[in-house]
Chain A
């Protein structure tokens, strides 16, 4: 089974639109949305939720005012300024390290496990599986939630005998991105020919190299700037990543998005749809040889 992760570094390059299109072309697939703090893939996939799981992770401190003697120990040991002068814990600032809980001389601090979100398995009308998650507003431990989403996707794929998992990754290079790609089989970088797109692509390529993962690039909105397009192609050669193809700038894609459809079903014959089908063929070949 291959696990293909789609990432971009920069946000808004078209990861999710591309991933959704791929979901239609790979018939035997399970989808995983690892952008857990802004999960959008299911808005297009329209999967019916089959199972819901609670994501309980980490602890939050709270001070019991009945027991608190206001000695100041907890405030001294907290490095996150999470405890106010009148001994109220700010749940957003608290990192869940437990220093106040373990060191309070009178045991006035409680340290309960917290519900950080939910994750789901779902199936669309064709019975194809997918997993995604919702982090509670401002909750932490998103990297662990990503792992939970990936684990469920693997279980689903094994259960249905699917041979590919397509993962929609988060933007950036931080903990959720790292959690999305460690141990995956292949990375597809969706980039755009802009000064920011190229800069951010280099950083996610460095990240892929750091974890020794193979990958290939898709240039979206490719006709926006030909000089940067050339630079990306050169970058692919230098860094040993393949180029899967170029998708032209296409206003129909945002129109399709507005109707929560993929570009393939919205405008199957537009140049962008044709490019996406070619990329799909190339990706299959690349995965076979990898």
Chain B
């Protein structure tokens, strides 16, 4: 089972929920893997302190021009939708950062002057984390604009027989869509503010459009915020837990502590999330999948 922990707004507590849920499930003898897909700013390793025993470059394919064969006809330039190729007299230039690796230029070149080479955009690391949680994350190189190919490669490290807790990047656009694409359940972490609610609505719309099952965790609750509760009720979104606003949580977070260890009174919240997740897992396995 794959569970993506996401939020439109940044800093609502995705990583806190993801690492604590992973740790809690492992503590209850489940096989768990934590997968950090926030490749632009991965932070899960600070909390799960994994022993990383494998590191692999993450590569994408980019075109390479054989200038001898190139007739500067401009066919590749015309077809490339990403403006990643430019034609100068006697020289065809590739802008690798703009390339989406679609391979079209190679196929349309009449002179077979283009081939593909690998370009490194970051790396993937795997290992064993705190409490026996399997760990995988990706780190995007600074200056690289496109995280999606790396997100795909991190997700490929998912272990079939494990509960995979996938920590998603903030936002609601393509990296988020890529991260949740094969999740069985999306847990959206929000906070009871107009910002949190605004971004929650967009995330819900995207996840629903992808046909996802959605649950919500409300973080930093400090008295009722009616607009959020109304939205959750109207859209029949199940709330798995409500964590209170608590400066001590922020302090524990600041040093990379696992919350349920530092403050055992919080275990009850993750127990509730874990129970719901386990219940859904059992339901899923009973269902006959098409």
| Chain A positions near chain B (C-beta within 8 angstroms) | 8-13, 16, 35-38, 40, 43, 58-59, 77, 79-80, 92-93, 95-99, 102-103, 135, 137-140, 142-143, 170-178, 192-197, 199-200, 203, 206-207, 210, 221, 224-225, 228, 249, 251, 254-255, 257-258, 260
CA distance A95 to B202 in the complex (A): 21
Q: State which of A102, A195, A255 has its C-beta within 8 Å of the C-beta of B108.
A: A102
CB of B81 within 8 Å of the partner chain: yes
| Shortest distance between the CB of A137 and any CB in chain B (Å) | 4
CA distance A138 to B144 in the complex (A): 21
Q: State which of A138, A195, A200, A254 has its C-beta within 8 Å of the C-beta of B177.
A: A138
Partner-binding segment picked from B8-16, B258-266, B268-276: B8-16
CB of B231 within 8 Å of the partner chain: no
Partner-binding segment picked from B27-35, B165-173, B233-241: B165-173
Residue numbers in B under 8 Å from A249 (CB-CB): 247, 250
Residue numbers in B under 8 Å from A16 (CB-CB): 195
| Shortest distance between the CB of A173 and any CB in chain B (Å) | 5
| Shortest distance between the CB of A140 and any CB in chain B (Å) | 5
Q: When the two chains form their complex, are residues B172 and A37 in contact, meaning their CB atoms are under 8 A apart?
A: yes
- Pairs across A and B, CB under 8 Å, 17 listed: A10-B41, A11-B10, A12-B10, A99-B103, A102-B79, A137-B202, A171-B171, A175-B145, A175-B146, A195-B256, A196-B41, A199-B43, A200-B41, A224-B251, A228-B254, A249-B247, A255-B222
CA distance A260 to B195 in the complex (A): 9
Q: When the two chains form their complex, are residues A251 and B222 in contact, meaning their CB atoms are under 8 A apart?
A: yes
Residue numbers in B under 8 Å from A98 (CB-CB): 79, 81, 102, 104
Closest 7 CB pairs of A and B: A12-B11, A11-B10, A97-B102, A172-B40, A175-B145, A194-B254, A196-B43
Q: A77-B103, A95-B100, A102-B79 are in contact. Are A210 and B147 (CB under 8 A)?
A: no
Within 8 A of A (CB), among B155-201: 169-177, 181, 191-195, 198-199
Partner-binding segment picked from B62-70, B128-136, B204-212: B204-212
CB of B283 within 8 Å of the partner chain: no
Q: Which single residue of chain B is at the shortest CB-CB distance from A98?
A: B81
| Chain B positions near chain A (C-beta within 8 angstroms) | 8-12, 15, 38, 40-41, 43, 46, 79, 81-82, 100-104, 107-108, 140, 142-147, 169-177, 181, 191-195, 198-199, 202, 205-206, 209-210, 220, 222, 225, 245, 247, 250-251, 253-256
Q: State which of A40, A140, A194, A254 has its C-beta within 8 Å of the C-beta of B9.
A: A40
Residue numbers in A under 8 Å from B79 (CB-CB): 98, 102
Residue numbers in B under 8 Å from A102 (CB-CB): 79, 104, 108
Q: When the two chains form their complex, are residues B11 and A10 in contact, meaning their CB atoms are under 8 A apart?
A: yes
Q: Which single residue of chain A is at the shortest CB-CB distance from B177?
A: A138
Q: Given contacts A40-B194, A43-B198, A172-B40, could you give 6 more A-B pairs where the C-beta distance is less than 8 Å?
A: A12-B11, A92-B181, A171-B10, A171-B41, A199-B43, A258-B225
| Shortest distance between the CB of B250 and any CB in chain A (Å) | 6
| Shortest distance between the CB of B51 and any CB in chain A (Å) | 18
| Shortest distance between the CB of A110 and any CB in chain B (Å) | 15
Residue numbers in B under 8 Å from A135 (CB-CB): 172-173
Q: When the two chains form their complex, are residues B46 and A199 in contact, meaning their CB atoms are under 8 A apart?
A: yes
Q: A92-B210, A97-B82 are in contact. Are A43 and B147 (CB under 8 A)?
A: no
CA distance A58 to B100 in the complex (A): 13
CA distance A197 to B181 in the complex (A): 28
CA distance A191 to B46 in the complex (A): 17
Q: When the two chains form their complex, are residues B11 and A13 in contact, meaning their CB atoms are under 8 A apart?
A: yes
CA distance A93 to B152 in the complex (A): 12
| Shortest distance between the CB of A132 and any CB in chain B (Å) | 12
| Shortest distance between the CB of A23 and any CB in chain B (Å) | 15
Residue numbers in B under 8 Å from A195 (CB-CB): 43, 46, 254-256
Q: State which of B107, B192, B254 has its C-beta within 8 Å of the C-beta of A193.
A: B254
Q: A95-B102, A102-B104, A199-B43 are in contact. Are A10 and B193 (CB under 8 A)?
A: no
Q: When the two chains form their complex, are residues A12 and B12 in contact, meaning their CB atoms are under 8 A apart?
A: yes
CA distance A203 to B42 in the complex (A): 11
Q: When the two chains form their complex, are residues A173 and B40 in contact, meaning their CB atoms are under 8 A apart?
A: yes
Q: When the two chains form their complex, are residues B9 and A12 in contact, meaning their CB atoms are under 8 A apart?
A: yes
Q: When the two chains form their complex, are residues B253 and A174 in contact, meaning their CB atoms are under 8 A apart?
A: no
CA distance A172 to B40 in the complex (A): 5
